[in-house]
Amino acid sequence: MQKRDREATRTRLLEAARLRFAREGYDATSVRDIARDSGVDATLIFRYFGSKKQLFDQATATAHSPDLLEGPQEELVARMVATIVDHDWTEYGGEHPLVAMLRSSAHEDARQRIRQEVCDTYVIALRDLAKGQDAELRAELLSAWMVGIGILRSVVATPALAEARAADLAPHIASVATDLLGRPMSGTVDQSRSEGESDQT
């Protein structure tokens, strides 16, 4: 029973931390804020996580995001955009965790996490797909475009992009991705194949 209670408390703390860090950033969020939101004593944060930094690292980890590398290569960019536009990120205040982390970019640890997230999740996978010279530069340009989509949607809330779904962006995704990667890329994800694979498991 005590173990379940500890796990439940730890889960509540992570949920509260995700929302606080996403909305206010690292420096503006205090351990007491998170503890108060969770209805527990602040000392439990240090008992379960060791420090505010370790809590931030775990709270902003994207372990629950879809596996972007699974599926056809030509749909990779479409899958990436779908995680920004259509995926349910309610636990991160409705924003992709990367966009949420940008609010903490004044903090050195957060900057390192953002760099790692962008490079490991986006740039390397796109660079490996790119054909021709300047593959890394073109991969970074495409990554910047996708991060910009997330920022304009949730931080700036530009009207057209904030209302758009992945299907609305599909032709533009295909055009930009094809041009930058130098190979034919799809703007959509084949949902029928994904559903068929799920039925077989």
Q: Are residues 18 and 94 in the same domain?
A: no
Q: Are residues 55 and 126 in the same domain?
A: no
In a domain, 68, yes or no: no
Write the CATH number for 22: 1.10.10.60
In a domain, 9, yes or no: yes
Question: What does each of the 201 residues of the chain score in pLDDT, given as a tens digit?
Answer: 456 688 888 889 988 988 888 778 888 889 999 999 999 999 999 999 999 888 888 887 754 455 777 889 999 999 989 888 886 666 655 566 666 667 666 667 767 777 777 777 778 989 999 988 999 999 999 999 998 898 888 778 899 998 999 999 999 999 999 999 999 999 999 876 554 444 444
Q: Are residues 106 and 38 in the same domain?
A: no
Domain count, the chain: 2
User: What pLDDT score does 64 carry?
Assistant: 46
Q: Are residues 50 and 80 in the same domain?
A: no
In a domain, 180, yes or no: yes
In a domain, 45, yes or no: yes
- The tally of CA atoms less than 13 A away on the side-chain side of residue 76 is 22
Of 20, 49, 24, 25, nearest to 110 (Cα)? 25
Q: Are residues 147 and 187 in the same domain?
A: yes
In a domain, 18, yes or no: yes
User: What pLDDT score does 56 carry?
Assistant: 86
Q: Are residues 44 and 119 in the same domain?
A: no
User: What pLDDT score does 105 carry?
Assistant: 66
Q: Are residues 22 and 85 in the same domain?
A: no
Phi-psi region of 8 (alpha: psi -120 to 50; beta: other; left: phi over 0): alpha
Q: Are residues 141 and 171 in the same domain?
A: yes
User: What pLDDT score does 168 carry?
Assistant: 94
Q: Are residues 116 and 181 in the same domain?
A: yes
Q: Are residues 88 and 167 in the same domain?
A: yes
Please tell me whether the overall predicted TM-score, pTM, comes out greater than 0.75 for this model.
no
Residue 37: which residues within 8 A CB-CB, separation 6 or more? 16, 19, 20
Q: Are residues 85 and 165 in the same domain?
A: yes
Which residue type does 10 have?
A: R
In a domain, 53, yes or no: yes
User: What pLDDT score does 181 carry?
Assistant: 95
Q: Are residues 97 and 187 in the same domain?
A: yes
**Residue 170 to residues 56, 122, 174, 188, Cα–Cα distance (Å):** 34, 18, 6, 6
In a domain, 23, yes or no: yes
In a domain, 24, yes or no: yes
Rounded to 5°, angle at Cα 39 from 24 and 110: 30
Q: Which tokens in the block code for residue 125?
A: 């996978």
Residue 127: which residues within 8 A CB-CB, separation 6 or more? 135, 136, 139
User: How many C-beta atoms lie closer than 10 Å to residue 137's C-beta?
Assistant: 12
Residue-range definition of the domain harbouring residue 108: 73-191
